[in-house]
Amino acid sequence: MKKNLSPLLFFFFGHLAPVMGEEKMNVLFIAADDMNCDLEVYGKSQVKTPNLKRLAAMGIRFDNAHCQQPLCGPSRASLMTGLRPDTLNLHTLKHELRLKNPDVVTLGQLFKNNGYFSYRSGKIYHYGNPSMIGTDANDDPATWTERSNPAGIDKTRESEIINFGPNKGLGISMAVWDPISKDEEHTDGMVASDVIAQIEKHKDRPFFLAAGFFNPHCPYVAPKKYFDMYPLEEITIPDLDQAKKDLEDVPPMAYMRDSRNWPYYFPNITVDEARRCKQAYYACNTFIDAQIGRLLDALEKHDLIKNTIIVFWSDHGYFLGEKGLWYKRKAFERSTRMPMLIAAPGFTRGKASPKPVELLDLYPTLADLCGLEPPKNLEGASLRPLLNNPSDPSWKKPAVTQIWHRHNAWGYSLRTERYRYTEWLRGKAGRELYDHSVDQGEVTNLAENPKYQKLVADLSSQLKPFFRLPKEKRSTPPKK
């Protein structure tokens, strides 16, 4: 076969050699749920993440990483297929990936097809939390060689969780529980134990191991020792009068899901209850960080760091009272941006990249680094250039996120290295422009400022090719 390869292919595979060597690279694929960048590893010293800092020192921290849709189902489906939600025609939490895309080759499936042991424990595709914990939920069996669905006390004793949100299930709640418990009694502790067992079992063959943590998704449940790290008196909530002013120059569609019961999505949630939930959210983040530490320890124990690519990601960001908002499902930075770290042997270590990147870039990146031939239709790009040079000036690709609420309520948001630009109904329902060099909180909407109209036109032109929402999802439904 080799003598039939073109010189270009010889160059390509030679380019991979410093990473691959003669043995296949392993992949440890670590996911958190609803985790934003309020983390020590991203400069917020209050939220303790020593193991994510440890991982960042081993590789690259992406400071400008964004999801394709800030909702668990479509975000995860997009990441696992390397295709945008519009291409998949997936914009809700429904279990429709194979129904609508029967021939798609997922990320784990690509590795499985190439002789890897592909394994999942916990949540990689969408799971209702805690309703679907312990089940296969919306999982894709073709992705994995084997899979596991542990259920800890956050599921088996969910009646003990305190829910501040009235008449809503725990899957969309402001609810907390801080039992005196061991990490391994919780679902996420069990997920870590499962994956550690697979590391030990398969250490001598190539693996793609996915650890899917459910935290910090609501309800916010973690062992009490993590809550104790965040005294309630040190937890602050933005001033609500000032927070509401942030929304005065924003198109109503940008926060339509939250406006009825502003603030915090639910009526009658007090500031003290919101502070309690924020404390719990921080505790859950540190709990997850501890599980990541256990995974890194297992790799080190078996001398696997040298030939394992480690990826950490969350499916989207999260609001914790900023602008009086809570949860995700918005086109603001706090909703679209999430932590993403990659440690790949042979590449740059301990640096951060300011370049805009997307979750769907992970698929082509891992295929590239492991020398696998991916599907031809992937819509992301390999992050290899940024793993070599985190500030590579040739990286010009923006990050694009979309929102879909219903047929006549949707929008697209484009993030460059400096700006965020958003159009609602292609601008018919409003536009937003924020300059992140001076306005990281996205307080001042510049979209209607005459000084910025040339920039608006340019960004609108860049965004236009991404409008691919299927017609049946963008037309106004007929009146009944």
Q: How many whole angstroms separate alpha carbon 294 and alpha carbon 192?
A: 7
Active-site entry in 72, 277, 284, 370 = 72
Rounded CA Rg of the chain: 22
Residues 112 and 208: beta-carbon distance below 8 Å: yes
Which is the catalytic residue, given 126, 186, 202, 316?
A: 126
Tokens of 322: 């900023």
b/e 447-477 (16+ beta carbons within 10 angstroms → b): beeeebeebbeebbeebeebeebeeeebeee
- For this structure, is 126 an active site residue? yes
Half-sphere exposure of 424 (CA within 13 A, CB side): 20
Six-digit token string for 313: 């990601």
Of the chain, the end-to-end C-alpha distance in Å amounts to: 63
Q: Is 302 noted as a catalytic residue in this protein?
A: no
What DSSP designation does 25 have? P
- CA distances (Å), 113 to each of 25, 28, 143, 168, 314, in order? 15, 17, 9, 42, 26
**DSSP 8-state code for residue 348:** -
> Does residue 206 have a cis bond before it (omega within 30 degrees)?
no
Residue 111: name the closest of 345, 370, 361 by CA: 370
Residue 371, phi-psi category: left (phi > 0), alpha (psi -120 to 50), beta (remainder): left
Query: Tokens standing for 462?
Result: 């860049």
Can the peptide bond before residue 216 be classed as cis, meaning omega within 30 degrees of 0?
yes
Q: Which of 183, 196, 206, 324 is nearest to 266 (CA)?
A: 324
What positions carry a catalytic annotation? 72, 126
